[in-house]
Amino acid sequence: MSNITELYDAILTGNHKKAVEITDTALKGGQDPKELVDKYMIPAMDEVGRRFEANEYFVPELLIAARAMKGALNLVRPLLLAQKVAPAGRVVIGTVKGDLHDIGKNLVAAMLEGGGFEIIDLGVDVSAEKFVAAIKEKGANVVCLSALLTTTMPGMKDIIKAIETAGARKQVKVMVGGAPVTKQYADQIGADGFSDNASGAVTEARRLLGVG
């Protein structure tokens, strides 16, 4: 019988099996799902993010932790929905048209999910129209654009324009990232937020939405 406080360590060390076990036992024992998320799971992923930024954790550790988090979250999510607990934010994320790079985008998605956000992942090579449609359909309040090539990065500007044209610009905060993207470039194309790493993206999304 595991102690509920061990959930934090299970996620931090990426122990998927244990994270799911503890969560399952706790929920069956009547533990409040929201408290489980807020007190143990999100803090664990925040610590993962801190270690990643400090270069203590690398991509593999981050992804393993995110997988453990996801396993636990899958058990909690239906209960949160039933209780009508709103997510920290609803995020549409994708790699821009012409670009196939997946991993950086996946890391950001995993960290945001771990940070309590709902994620709608559109994948790679995503057109402006697809971004706009998803933002409207899902009622997203954050959109994350990723590009890893200097040649595809200008596509971010076109997507922001398309969101404006579609009348959805006020609805969403636009965040951009990827190897060639800089804070300066983000400002220049009129994005709201920028991060050069997956963990920073969570902090930035929280700042933009005024949560956490």
Applying CB under 8 A, the residues found at the interface with another protein are 55-56, 58-61, 63, 97-103, 106, 124-125, 149-152
Closest to another protein by CB, 26 or 107: 107
Rounded least distance, CB 47 to another protein, Å: 15
Identify how many contiguous H helices and E strands the chain contains and give both numbers.
10, 5
Closest to another protein by CB, 150 or 165: 150
Closest to another protein by CB, 40 or 131: 131
- β-pair partners for 94: 145
- Locate the DSSP E strands across 89-183: 90-95, 118-121, 142-146, 173-177
Closest to another protein by CB, 106 or 195: 106
Rounded least distance, CB 24 to another protein, Å: 25
Name the 3-class secondary structure at 55: coil
**Cα distance between residue 145 and residue 132, in whole Å:** 12
Closest to another protein by CB, 12 or 36: 12
Closest to another protein by CB, 133 or 149: 149
Rounded least distance, CB 60 to another protein, Å: 5
Rounded least distance, CB 197 to another protein, Å: 12
Instruction: Map tokens 């609803």 to a residue.
Output: 90
Main-chain dihedrals φ then ψ at residue 52, nearest 5 degrees:
-65, -45
**Cα distance between residue 207 and residue 137, in whole Å:** 24
Using the Cα atoms of residue 96, residue 100, residue 101 and residue 103 in order, give the sign of their dihedral. Answer: positive
Measured N-to-C along each axis, helices 16-28 and 59-82 cross at an angle, to the nearest 10 degrees, of 20
Rounded least distance, CB 149 to another protein, Å: 6
Rounded least distance, CB 58 to another protein, Å: 5
